[in-house]
Structure 1
Amino acid sequence: MAEHKHGEMDISVQEKTFAGFINFTIKTVAVIIVAVLLLAMFNA
């Protein structure tokens, strides 16, 4: 079994996936906030 050496693994794919997830989450939250504000303004 190979020894694990900290910091040698290529994590570029994981970093891109995480960045995409964060980007998707931010955009989704922004859409939800806009939708809630529109509902509050036009449903009063």
Structure 2
Amino acid sequence: MADHKIGEMDITVQEKTFDGFIKMVTRGTMVIIALLILLALIGA
């Protein structure tokens, strides 16, 4: 069995996935807040 060495794994794909997830959550949150504000302004 190969010896495991800390810090040698290539994690570029995981970092890209995480960055995409954070962007999606941030944009989704902004859309929800904007919709809530719009609903409050029109009195629905």
The sequence identity of aligned pairs, in percent, is 57
Provide the rounded CA distance (Å) in 2 between the counterparts of 1:3 and 1:40: 59
Q: What's the RMSD between the two structures over aligned residues?
A: 1.0
Aligned residue identity for 1:36? L
Provide the rounded CA distance (Å) in 1 between the counterparts of 2:28 and 2:35: 11
SS in 1 for 2:4: coil
Q: Unaligned regions of 5+ residues in structure 1, if any?
A: none
Q: Unaligned regions of 5+ residues in structure 2, if any?
A: none
TM-score if structure 2 supplies the norm length?
0.92
- 1:1-44 equivalences under 5 Å are 1-43=1-43
TM-score if structure 1 supplies the norm length?
0.92
